A = this chain, B = another copy of it.
Amino acid sequence: MSHPQTTFRQTTFKGNSVLSRRRKTVSRTTVHAQLEQLRSTGRYDCFKLEWHPIYADKSMWPVPFHLFWDSDIAKWIEGACYFLVEDYDAEIDKTIRELVEMIRGAQQEDGYLNVHYTVVEPDKRWSNLRDMHEMYNAGHLIEAAVAHQGYYHDNLLIEPIEKYVAHIRRRFGPGEGQLRGYPGHPEIELALFRLYKATGSTDAFELAQYFLTERGNPTGQDGKHYYDWEMEKRGEISWQRPDAYPEHGTLWYCQADSPIVEQKTIEGHAVRANYLLTAVADMLYLSKEDGRPIPNAEGWSEALHRLWDNMVDKKMYLTGGVGAIKQWEGFGIDYFLPQGTDEGGCYNETCVSIAVMMLAERILHLDLDAHYADIMELCLYNTVMTAMSLDGKAFTYVNQLGSTEADKSVREEWFWCACCPPNLTRLFGSLGGYLWDYGHEESNIFINVHLYTGAELTFDANGLPVTLQQKSNWPWEGKVDFQLSAPSSLRVIIRLRLPAWSKGAYVLAPFPQPGTVKVEKGYICLYPAYVSENPSFSLEVLDFEPRYLSPHPYTNQRTLTLARGPIVYCVEDADNPWETNHFKDVFLRTDSKVTEKLVTDEETGEEYVSLKSKCWKQSISTHASLKADGDSAAPRDLIFVPYYFRANRGGKGQMRVGLMNGGIESGVIFPERL
């Protein structure tokens, strides 16, 4: 089936679920607030190709402040188009039309379309693919154009964009006279696959395939690595490098140190890595679906799974956050997962978790394993949802697990590098496409349900209408009621994800006859015999009890985190105002009882389950022996709230996800001083 950014149109969110409320906030508030930011910062008018004072700012190198403005506009258009589908807004409609006019007007005769290299450095086009984001911006323009066409059904945006793609395609590729370049920041690859699927352009497919295949070629251009070749042409030596490159020749930063199929571990900038792998997964899926065999498909598939496993097993926080290291906004070594700045990391950019969701969604088409949907859900309800305030007006870029005085738990209205906020808009706009997948499978119709909420899916199967409705109070309760409406001539298979944290415990009602239901790779497969007999059925995922999570011991994080269903919890000073040191000295014991309570927050109106347990606090001095006085110290009540809920109620900005497990054992602390 197609991309979630297309199929979301078949889904309508129903009821008052967390997801539905959040989508309404984005539609009614966020889209407008972000537009206001675009206007006030100068971005809105950038495609007019007039000079803006910020263009003269040379304090950053090589990337100036305005380099991603093209993509900020494109991502906003894309997200806004998604929301127009079910929540029409005349102002937004008018604004999109105006922006599209400006973009059309900004295109150069030869098809080139980029603000910086038209206004600021017109003689340096394509001279620094490694750092300068021309293709990244192009990729977002492509995605905007596909979304625009999907809503407006006209060619006003896709026409100039296809012209731009043709321009790029002429310049770069494996042919004679072409340059062997590829983008430093992947994005255009996944965009080109979407363009291919939307328009059938095999040029787009082939260009994306070329970018993926050429990447990391050590001798691609005149016997040199492309990035070395272009660097030499710019007259730079490799010790002259952006701040994100800790050492010279840090090509792993942009996943270009070796061809993708040879990469052993996932490294570097985490958004780039996940956009890249999303494209790889899509290439594998589309080539299978459309019968376009690609060379070494097995090698690509192995690399995809190898890099995914490395990320999820060894480089992912239990919030779904990814990318511990601030300097290169990316991956540290295996198991390096400190909770905050004071421990040396925990960057966890919002865009990465959105990208992980995109990647997981693509992999589910290749390998229907609940693990991928588990991660998709984990990211959604935790690192992604925590990145926006409940009022829809403030955002995070970095999503730490523990605050410090230097980096409090707060949100901002905008960022100079504004990738995250409009990415949230795009994701929430197309979220319906992530809930489920559907299509034909031999003589059956299938619906694979990945995420539970209140929603209705409607699609056309061989000209016949199929509707599946799900109703639930997820993520607070595990009961989901389904109602299928499909012509009796259709054989329908429904697969329901069973999250790993449920440990496989569920109740299906009506109770299935033998042979009509089977669990495969974490999906409960309801065969046509069951479905036709029971168009109304309900699933209850069990084990919604609060549970303790501990990171892998090799992380050296001997902490406890409470989770319940897909929701990871944190503690905040808003609920625990006695705390003064960001909960660093607070510990839990696994044998303390945890109680839960359904709360409606007065100020925000948010409804959620809060948790309560006991904690102890130790005084930890700089040196001298520590007394193991945890046992004798009086326990306090500790209130936990969902991580996504943090930083919505004022307070001192003190927050922590993982709390010390069991206190500090006796034993002498070094250095000993008399």
Which of B240, B370, B550, B553 is within 8 Å of A668, CB to CB? Answer: B550
Within A306-351, the residues touching B (CB, 8 Å) are 312-314, 316, 318, 327, 332-336, 338, 342-344
State how many copies of this chain the complex holds: 2
A239 at interface by CB-CB < 8 Å: yes
A558 at interface by CB-CB < 8 Å: yes
B313 touches A671 (CB 8 A): yes
Question: Which of A248, A501, A669, A672 counts the most B-chain CB atoms under 10 A from its CB?
Answer: A672
**CB 8 Å contact bits of A225-267 with B (1 = contact, 0 = none):** 0000000000011011111001110000000000000000000
Please, how many angstroms separate the alpha-carbon atoms of A668 and B338 in the complex? 18
Smallest beta-carbon distance A657→chain B, Å: 11
B242 touches A316 (CB 8 A): no
B671 touches A626 (CB 8 A): no
**CB 8 Å contact bits of A544-561 with B (1 = contact, 0 = none):** 000111111110111010
Given contacts A344-B332, A503-B674, contact A548 B668 (CB under 8 A): yes
B548 touches A667 (CB 8 A): yes
Question: Which of A61, A551, A626, A667 counts the most B-chain CB atoms under 10 A from its CB?
Answer: A667
Please, how many angstroms separate the alpha-carbon atoms of A354 and B548 in the complex? 46
B61 touches A237 (CB 8 A): yes
A239 touches B243 (CB 8 A): yes
Please, how many angstroms separate the alpha-carbon atoms of A442 and B313 in the complex? 68
B665 touches A661 (CB 8 A): yes
Chain B residue nearest in CB terms to A662: B665
B500 touches A551 (CB 8 A): no
B242 touches A620 (CB 8 A): no
Smallest beta-carbon distance A271→chain B, Å: 20
A672 touches B558 (CB 8 A): no
Q: Which residues of B contact A247 (CB under 8 A)?
A: 243, 327
Which of B334, B498, B665 is within 8 Å of A674, CB to CB? Answer: B498
Within A610-664, the residues touching B (CB, 8 Å) are 620, 622-623, 626, 660-662, 664
Please, how many angstroms separate the alpha-carbon atoms of A243 and B335 in the complex? 25
Q: Which residues of B contact A237 (CB under 8 A)?
A: 61, 240
Q: Which residues of B contact A626 (CB under 8 A)?
A: 550, 553
Q: Which residues of B contact A169 (CB under 8 A)?
A: none
Please, how many angstroms separate the alpha-carbon atoms of A18 and B212 in the complex? 61
A673 at interface by CB-CB < 8 Å: yes
Q: Which residues of B contact A558 (CB under 8 A)?
A: 556, 558, 664-665
Smallest beta-carbon distance A506→chain B, Å: 12
Q: Which residues of B contact A557 (CB under 8 A)?
A: 556
Which of B343, B370, B551, B669 is within 8 Å of A670, CB to CB? Answer: B551
A371 at interface by CB-CB < 8 Å: yes
Smallest beta-carbon distance A376→chain B, Å: 12
Chain B residue nearest in CB terms to A667: B550
Smallest beta-carbon distance A587→chain B, Å: 10
A517 at interface by CB-CB < 8 Å: no
A666 at interface by CB-CB < 8 Å: yes
Can you list 24 A-B contacts (CB < 8 A)? A62-B239, A240-B241, A243-B247, A246-B327, A316-B671, A342-B554, A344-B344, A371-B671, A374-B672, A498-B674, A500-B673, A549-B669, A550-B664, A550-B668, A550-B669, A551-B670, A552-B620, A552-B622, A552-B670, A553-B626, A553-B669, A558-B558, A558-B664, A590-B665
- Beyond contacts A239-B240, A344-B344, A370-B674: 17 other A-B pairs, Cβ-Cβ < 8 A, are A62-B239, A237-B240, A240-B240, A313-B671, A316-B671, A318-B671, A333-B344, A335-B342, A500-B673, A500-B674, A501-B672, A547-B668, A550-B668, A550-B669, A552-B669, A553-B660, A558-B558
For the complex of A and B, the 9 pairs showing the least CB-CB separation, nearest first, are: A240-B240, A550-B667, A500-B672, A318-B670, A243-B247, A556-B556, A548-B667, A500-B674, A246-B246
